[in-house]
């Protein structure tokens, strides 16, 4: 029998750490975050030019990072520029530091 995890039964901090961890659970997403840290802001195509990934893959990984709040999108029609969401990155860092120091 499968069990459904009800995230509302966990403290918000634990849910957020899990969301950040899930978003960072793929090496391509780590590479994207590192690229954004290095270059600040860039378009999806800039990341495609640097990583061994197809444009569709980079877009999907950016979506996962954005949904978790680690990356923010700046609309510049017809393109979108991406950057690390600094405030949420600091929150993630603090959560992970607390988690690893506590355990």
Exposure class string for 69-94: b at 16+ Cβ within 10 A, else e? bbbbeeeeeeeeebebbeebbebbee
Tell whether the torsion through CA atoms of 58, 60, 65 and 69 is positive or negative. Answer: positive
Residue in the block written with tokens 């600094």? 86
User: Where do the domains of the chain lie, and which CATH numbers do they carry?
Assistant: 13-102 (1.10.10.10)
Whole-prediction pTM: 0.85
Q: Which residues of the chain register pLDDT less than 70?
A: 1-5, 102-103
Q: For residue 40, what is the enclosing H or E element? A: none
What pLDDT was estimated at residue 5?
Answer: 66
Phi and psi at 27, nearest 5°, equal -60, -30
Q: How high is the mean pLDDT of the chain?
A: 90
What pLDDT was estimated at residue 98?
Answer: 84
What pLDDT was estimated at residue 12?
Answer: 86
What pLDDT was estimated at residue 6?
Answer: 75
What pLDDT was estimated at residue 101?
Answer: 82
What pLDDT was estimated at residue 43?
Answer: 95
What pLDDT was estimated at residue 14?
Answer: 85
What pLDDT was estimated at residue 17?
Answer: 86
Q: Distance between CA atoms of 95 and 97, rounded to whole angstroms?
A: 6
What pLDDT was estimated at residue 4?
Answer: 57
């Amino acid at each position: 029998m499968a069990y459904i995890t009800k995230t509302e039964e966990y403290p918000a901090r634990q849910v957020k750490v899990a969301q950040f961890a899930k978003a960072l659970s793929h090496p391509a997403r780590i590479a994207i975050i590192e690229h954004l840290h290095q270059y600040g802001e860039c378009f999806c195509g800039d990341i495609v030019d640097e990583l061994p990934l197809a444009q569709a893959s980079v877009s999907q990984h950016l979506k996962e990072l954005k949904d978790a709040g680690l990356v923010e999108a700046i609309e510049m029609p017809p393109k979108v520029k991406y950057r690390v969401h600094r405030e949420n990155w600091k929150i993630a860092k603090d959560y992970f530091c607390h988690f690893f120091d506590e355990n």
